[in-house]
Amino acid sequence: MSDNPSKPAATEASRADFRRKLKLAFASIGVVFGDIGTSPLYAMRESLAHVAGAGGSVHEDVIAIVSLLIWALILIVTVKYVLILMRADNKGEGGILTLVVLAEQALRGKRSFVLILGVVGAAFFFGDAMITPAISVLSAVEGLTVINPGFDPYVVPITLLILATLFAFQYRGTGNVASLFAPITILWFITIAVLGLLHIGDDPSIFLALNPIYAAKFVIFNPGMGLIIFAGVFLAVTGGEALYADLGHFGRTPIRMAWVFIVLPALILNYLGQGAFVHANPQAVTNPFFLMAPSWGLIPLVVLATLVTVIASQAVITGAFSIAQQAISLGLLPRMNITHTSDTEQGQIYIGQINWLVFAGVILLVLLFGSSADLASAYGIAVNISMIIDTALALIVFWHARHFPPAIVLPVLFVILLVELTFFAANSTKLIAGGYVPVLIGFVIIVTMLTWLRGRSLLAEKLRRDSVELEGLLATLERRPPTRVAGAAVFLQTDPIYAPSALMHNLKHNRVLHDILVFISVKTAEVPRVPRDERVEVKKLPLGAFLVEASFGYMEQPDVPAALRMCEPYGLSIDPRQASYFMGRRAIRTSPKARMPFWQQRLFILLANQSARAIEFFRIPPERVVELGMQMSV
């Protein structure tokens, strides 16, 4: 009999926790690893193509190339993302904008520099969201040409049909089919591992690639060729940033378990198998992945590859929705209507404007390039820039970190940054061959974000100059009160210090005030989600009014009626469905005196006009809204 009865209970709890983490690790394989899992379709082929195209000996360089592929996975994905960046979380959440928030907290007062880094990183993430579905689905459908070259004219139409179907059903969410993602993706990793194992015996000397000296010697003695090959090698690590971005959905331990025990071994075995196969069959350099498959398995392999690339594309698209939601909360993009597609999963959202913008970009890329080999030239640079910014922000965060010794992590991150800059130099050689496309896409998104930031800042500055302090105004009205009418009036305001324009217009035109006055401002906290007991702060003002500051995390959608319901313990008891909501509606016009160039004024006005109405964004009952308009310029 046990002397400590709590021991069995603790053991059972730890077992239950382990089972839960195993389930999450299983589920993460279907969401997190689709992008990096499809890299064997084209990474080895593109790396070898650079050697063959430069007139080199494919046979002699295979071991070095496989070594570069394997050690890129170990250094960039395993060390940087799995071991280091997963420790830089904000209440369990990861991603590039989480790094922006953490870096801002670390630097204090140098927000603009960090914010610009975040803008650039987020912009190129959207570029990645366009390129990944295009290259992944194209590379899978191109497997048909291995079965029969006569399929070549149908590759692009089939790809476009698959992509159009994928984007058309985004609004329904992925809840109903997400349960299929993990089994299909696990089957994929088993398949590529078995394919690799079957061909490692073609030339067992391929195991020399596990020694990083072969990769290092190749780069040192062939720097020119090494730079060229790096552009292809980098394709093996695209998708690595998803491990960090999806941290909040699955947790650190499940993602690490899935990577270390399933995904990384499968990728290494497949690259070793492709290398041995090409050693024994140099003519297979054109498409080593599909040529490894036996003839009877080609059709099932193409079908499976297509399914997995669709899953990978789905993960990137939903990632774009998540980044857009965070960017909106942080003021980097205009408000957009956000639809929650799941009652249980907060991360399951749909943003129509982002969906169709990404779709337009994907279709343009497929039509412009026409093949995954041509598109590979454009692919690396967008992801590469995002990864470099991840590392730069991580250096800032860990320089000030207390929970992780900077003396250990900073030198490692600095070495990784040098490697990523080398990858960038290699990818930059592809600018003319198509790399300019993601750069242009990124540049347009950066200009859009910076214009929105600048315009909002100037608008807020002008409103502050033209506004009066709320408490002073209410104190004056208390001495000479206007006519009061029954009911509750809720005024939305951007700055809790100043009286909202809707109040001033209401007094000017109607000369009445409601019995209950509520002024509510919504602010975005520097955490993903705000606890319920910290959601609202309520302050009593003159004239019996209430000032409510409602806080929402940068991964939450603001809900004003829900915040008002939480104010009852503070003495504010109203039915949000019966209150009248007074909101200012601004019509922005151009002005020769504005502090923005004319073209930027026009862009800001376009963005403001496309911005979702505050009614939908803040979930306010539309039938209870009174809008008061005004014209102004930036």
Average pLDDT over the chain, rounded to an integer: 86
In the chain, the percentage of residues whose pLDDT exceeds 90 is: 38
Same domain for 403 and 258, yes or no, is: yes
Rg (CA), the chain: 28
In a domain, 338, yes or no: yes
Residue-wise pLDDT for 174-192, tens only, equals 655 666 788 999 999 999 9
Same domain for 517 and 396, yes or no, is: no
Mean pLDDT of all residues in 12-30 = 84
Residue after which a domain boundary falls, among 402, 421, 453: 453
pLDDT at 371 over 70: yes
Same domain for 446 and 472, yes or no, is: no
Please check whether residue 259 is in contact with residue 243, taking contact to mean a CB–CB distance below 8 angstroms: yes
The Cα-based distances of 142 to 129, 137, 154 in angstroms read: 21, 8, 9
Residue-wise pLDDT for 404-428, tens only, equals 778 888 999 999 999 999 999 988 8
Higher-scoring residue by pLDDT: 343, 453: 453
Q: Look at the chain and report how many structural domains it folds into.
A: 2
Show the DSSP H helices in 201-297 as ranges.
Answer: 212-221, 223-233, 241-245, 247-250, 252-258, 264-280, 288-291
User: Among 96-105, 266-275, 337-346, 480-489, whose mean pLDDT is lowest?
Assistant: 337-346
Higher-scoring residue by pLDDT: 593, 346: 593
Same domain for 152 and 258, yes or no, is: yes
End-to-end, the C-alpha distance of the chain in Å comes to 78
pLDDT at 27 over 60: yes
Q: How far apart are CA 80 and CA 561, in angstroms?
A: 42
pLDDT of residue 18: 85
pLDDT of residue 3: 56
Sheet holding 625-632, edge to edge: 536-540, 546-552, 512-524, 483-493, 580-588, 625-632
pLDDT of residue 631: 72
3-class secondary structure, 332:
coil
- Residue 80's pLDDT band, with cuts at 50, 70 and 90, is very high
In a domain, 219, yes or no: yes
Same domain for 574 and 628, yes or no, is: yes
User: Among 137-151, 330-344, 553-567, whose mean pLDDT is lowest?
Assistant: 330-344
Please report which helix (H) or strand (E) contains residue 537, including its range: strand 536-540
For the chain, what's the residue count?
634
User: Among 429-438, 486-495, 533-542, whose mean pLDDT is lowest?
Assistant: 429-438
Same domain for 587 and 443, yes or no, is: no
In a domain, 462, yes or no: no
Mean pLDDT of all residues in 11-40 = 85
Residue-wise pLDDT for 231-248, tens only, equals 889 999 988 888 888 887
In a domain, 116, yes or no: yes
pTM of the model: 0.82
Please check whether residue 274 is in contact with residue 40, taking contact to mean a CB–CB distance below 8 angstroms: yes
- Residue 221's pLDDT band, with cuts at 50, 70 and 90, is confident
CATH of the domain at 381: 1.20.1740.10
Q: How far apart are CA 97 and CA 117, in angstroms?
A: 10
Same domain for 433 and 483, yes or no, is: no
In a domain, 20, yes or no: no
Q: How far apart are CA 601 and CA 616, in angstroms?
A: 25
Selection from 230, 254, 292, 309 nearest residue 39 by Cα: 309
pLDDT of residue 36: 92
In a domain, 3, yes or no: no
Same domain for 232 and 361, yes or no, is: yes
Please check whether residue 127 is in contact with residue 442, taking contact to mean a CB–CB distance below 8 angstroms: yes
Same domain for 421 and 492, yes or no, is: no
In a domain, 11, yes or no: no
Selection from 392, 458, 316 nearest residue 102 by Cα: 392
Domain of 233 in residue numbering reads as: 28-453
Tokens 């590392």, residue located: 391
The Cα-based distances of 289 to 7, 302, 473 in angstroms read: 51, 11, 72
The phi and psi torsions of 614 (rounded to 5 degrees) equal -60, -25
**Residue type at 562 in one-letter notation:** A
pLDDT at 526 over 80: no
pLDDT of residue 57: 56
Render the burial of 75-105: b for 16+ CB within 10 Å, e for the rest. bbbbbbbbebbbebbbeebbbbbbbbbbbbe
523 forms beta bridges with 551
pLDDT at 481 over 90: no
Mean pLDDT of all residues in 371-397 = 87
Same domain for 315 and 167, yes or no, is: yes
In a domain, 8, yes or no: no
Please check whether residue 429 is in contact with residue 232, taking contact to mean a CB–CB distance below 8 angstroms: no
Residue after which a domain boundary falls, among 428, 453, 478: 453
Same domain for 343 and 367, yes or no, is: yes
Same domain for 343 and 300, yes or no, is: yes
Residue-wise pLDDT for 538-570, tens only, equals 999 998 899 999 999 887 889 999 999 999 999
Residue after which a domain boundary falls, among 419, 453, 487: 453
In the chain, the percentage of residues whose pLDDT exceeds 70 is: 93
pLDDT of residue 1: 46
- Hey, what's the torsion of the CAs at 9, 14, 19, 22, to 10 degrees? 180
Mean pLDDT of all residues in 210-227 = 88
The Cα-based distances of 416 to 11, 96, 233, 283, 409 in angstroms read: 40, 17, 15, 34, 11
Q: How far apart are CA 39 and CA 62, in angstroms?
A: 17
